[in-house]
Amino acid sequence: MENISVEEVKRRMDAGEKVNLVDVREPYENADFNIGGTLLPLGQIQSMQIDDIEDLKEQEVILYCRSGNRSGQAAMFLDAMGFKNTKNLVGGMLAWEDKFGR
């Protein structure tokens, strides 16, 4: 797992780059505000219910949550499951909102 900044992710998204975003928050958090990631709550990752992203094992996967804690845990779980390139969005949606708003 590596860390990635909100600025880097936003720059890449704005440039039209395909980024594999995974939101590990709960559905109500995702419904309130999200940046387009696949919703896969941490609990599902911990119980290895990862069918929605199984095909991304060899690709970069950027995980995010509210503050960066749950996504860091999720990245470690995915690493242990054989994912090769996980990145944790530092500061999560709090940092995103602070920098770019909603």
pLDDT, one tens digit per residue, over 27-81 is 999 999 999 999 999 999 999 999 999 999 999 999 999 999 999 999 999 999 9
- Which structure tokens are listed for 71? 């996504």
CATH of residue 28: 3.40.250.10
Domain count of the chain? 1
Which of these, 98, 85, 76, lies nearest to 24 by C-alpha position?
Answer: 76
The pLDDT of residue 9: 98
d(CA 73, CA 86): 11
Exposed / middle / buried, residue 85 (Cβ in 10 Å: 0-12, 13-18, 19+): middle
Domain of 12 in residue numbering reads as 2-100
Q: Render pLDDT for 80-89 as a digit per residue (tens, 0 to 9).
A: 999 999 999 9
Kindly list the catalytic residues: 65
